[in-house]
């Protein structure tokens, strides 16, 4: 799969991408949020064996600058997709995350038939929340003690959603 934006390409992950993605994931700010993302974890995504998660590479000027992944709920009564992502330090704060999210959202709405997407950043991850809001995601609510942090304690998460604009509500 290849999704082309104005400045970015979001494409299927390939074996040569694994080492670079592991390097990006080891950056302190990403490691603090994601924990260890090993090359073995990334290869599992590549092979399609990672909990039904589809991993895609974010590429800028031919260089891998991040990962965006999604999982799909296939039960027709609850069908939706969840998205998550990380970008290298040099690619943050320039609108690349927003562009990558919009490319993937378009794919999930148009090609995969979803009407709703979710994303769940840590409640204190203000840069990520700003990025997701800029892509159209809206806050649903705070999930108290949602995930265990690197310090061993549980931290709040923020549930955000993007609903396909041409789909009527309920």
For 124-170, the pLDDT digits (tens) are 999 999 999 999 999 999 999 999 988 889 999 999 999 997 755 55
63: DSSP letter:
E
Q: How far apart are CA 88 and CA 84, in angstroms?
A: 14
Number of domains in the chain: 1
Residues across the chain: 170
Give the C-alpha distances (Å, rounded to integers) separating 141 from 117, 123, 126, 146, 156: 15, 10, 15, 12, 10
Phi-psi region of 150 (alpha: psi -120 to 50; beta: other; left: phi over 0): alpha
Is 68 inside any structural domain? yes
User: Helices 96-110 and 126-134, interaxial angle, to 10°?
Assistant: 50
Is 170 inside any structural domain? no
Q: How far apart are CA 30 and CA 43, in angstroms?
A: 19
Can you give the CATH number for the domain in which 82 is found?
A: 3.40.630.30
- Burial class of residue 126, CB neighbours in 10 A (0-12, 13-18, 19+): exposed
Is 156 inside any structural domain? yes
Is 133 inside any structural domain? yes
Is 168 inside any structural domain? no
The boundaries of the domain holding residue 69 are: 2-163
Dihedral of the CA atoms 86, 21, 90, 99 (nearest 10)? -50
Is 169 inside any structural domain? no
Is 50 inside any structural domain? yes
Q: What is the pLDDT of residue 155?
A: 94
Q: What is the pLDDT of residue 41?
A: 87
pLDDT-flagged residues of the chain (< 50): none
Is 19 inside any structural domain? yes
Q: What is the pLDDT of residue 68?
A: 97
């Amino acid at each position: 799969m290849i999704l082309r934006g104005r400045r970015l390409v979001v494409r299927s992950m390939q074996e040569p991408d694994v080492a670079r993605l592991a390097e990006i994931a080891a950056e302190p700010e990403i490691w603090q949020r994601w924990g260890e993302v090993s090359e073995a974890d990334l290869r599992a995504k590549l092979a399609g064996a990672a909990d039904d998660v589809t991993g895609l590479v974010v590429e800028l000027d031919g260089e891998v600058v991040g990962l965006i992944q999604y999982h799909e709920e296939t039960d027709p009564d609850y069908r939706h997709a969840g998205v998550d992502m990380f970008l290298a330090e040099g690619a943050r704060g320039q609108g690349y995350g927003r562009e990558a999210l919009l490319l993937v959202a378009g794919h999930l709405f148009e090609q995969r038939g979803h009407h709703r997407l979710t994303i769940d950043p840590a409640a204190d991850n203000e840069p990520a929340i700003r990025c997701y809001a800029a892509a159209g995601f809206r806050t649903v609510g705070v999930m108290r003690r949602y995930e265990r942090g690197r310090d061993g304690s549980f931290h709040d998460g923020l549930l955000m959603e993007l609903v396909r604009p041409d789909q009527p509500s309920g």
